[in-house]
Amino acid sequence: NVYGYPSVTGAVILSNYLKQDWLSFMKVRANYAEVGSSTGNYRLQNTYNKFGPFQGMGVYYIPSTLANPDLKPERSKEVELGLEMQFFKNRLGFDIAAYKTKTLNQIINLPVSNSTGYSTVTINAGQIDNKGIEVQLNGTPVKSKAFTWDINVNWAKNENKLVSLHPDAKVLQLASYQGGVTLNAIEGEAYGVIRGTDYVYLDGQKVVDPNTGRYLRTAESNHEIGNITPDWTGGVRNTFTFGENISMGFLIDVQHGGDTFSTDMYYGLSTGLYAETAVGDYRTAGLVHPGVNPNGQVNTTPTIGADAYGNVDGYRRMPNARFVYDASYIKLREANITYKLPKRIIENTFLEEAKISFVGRNLWIIDKNLPHADPEAGTGGGLGSRGNSIGVLPTTRDFGVNLTFKF
DSSP per-residue letters across 317-328: TS-GGGGEEE--
Distance CA 10, CA 29 (A): 6
Q: What are the tens digits of pLDDT across the range 80-116?
A: 999 999 999 999 999 999 999 999 998 888 888 889 8
Per DSSP, the three-state class of 276 is helix
Q: What are the tens digits of pLDDT across the range 54-76?
A: 888 888 988 899 999 999 999 99
CA angle 392, 394, 395 (to 5 degrees): 110
Per-residue exposure over 1-21, b if at least 16 CB sit within 10 Å of its own CB, e if not: eeeeeeeeeeeeeebeeeeee
The helix or strand, by DSSP H or E, that contains position 331, with its residue range, turns out to be strand 329-340
Confidence band, pLDDT 50/70/90 cuts, at residue 407: confident
Q: What is the DSSP string of 214-231?
A: PBPB-S-S-EEEEE---S
236-to-36, 57, 154 alpha-carbon distances in Å: 34, 60, 7
In the chain, count H helices and then E strands. Answer: 3, 25
- The closest of 132, 129, 135, 136 to 158, measured between CA atoms, is 132
Instruction: List Cβ neighbours of 185 (8 Å cut-off, separation of 6 or more).
Output: 126, 162, 165, 171, 172, 174, 191, 192, 193
What pairing do the DSSP bridges indicate for beta strands 388-389 and 259-262?
parallel
Confidence band, pLDDT 50/70/90 cuts, at residue 308: very low
User: What is the pLDDT at residue 282?
Assistant: 63
Give the residue-averaged pLDDT of 139-160: 96
- The closest of 146, 26, 152, 22 to 89, measured between CA atoms, is 22
Q: Is the pLDDT of residue 284 over 90?
A: no
Decide: 106 and 71 in contact? Cβ < 8 Å.
no
Decide: 387 and 226 in contact? Cβ < 8 Å.
yes
The sheet carrying 120-124 orders its strands as 65-66, 120-124, 107-111
Dihedral pair phi/psi, residue 144, rounded to 5°: -150, 175
Q: What are the tens digits of pLDDT across the range 220-257?
A: 999 999 999 999 999 999 999 998 899 999 999 999 99
Distance CA 153, CA 333 (A): 14
- The closest of 86, 252, 241 to 150, measured between CA atoms, is 241
User: What is the pLDDT at residue 333?
Assistant: 96
Give the residue-averaged pLDDT of 202-209: 95
Q: What are the tens digits of pLDDT across the range 366-403?
A: 999 999 999 988 665 555 567 888 888 888 999 999 99
What pairing do the DSSP bridges indicate for beta strands 232-242 and 147-164?
antiparallel
373-to-181, 225, 263, 325, 332 alpha-carbon distances in Å: 19, 20, 11, 11, 16
Give the residue-averaged pLDDT of 341-369: 90
Q: Which residues pair with 19 in a beta bridge?
A: none
Q: What is the pTM of this model?
A: 0.86
Decide: 236 and 335 in contact? Cβ < 8 Å.
no
Residue type, 179: G
To the nearest whole number, what is the mean pLDDT of the chain? 90
Residue type, 89: K
89 φψ region: left (φ > 0), alpha (ψ -120 to 50), beta (else): left
pLDDT above 90 covers a percentage of the chain that reads 62
Give the residue-averaged pLDDT of 116-121: 90
Instruction: List Cβ neighbours of 402 (8 Å cut-off, separation of 6 or more).
Output: 356, 357, 359
Q: Is the pLDDT of residue 309 over 50?
A: no
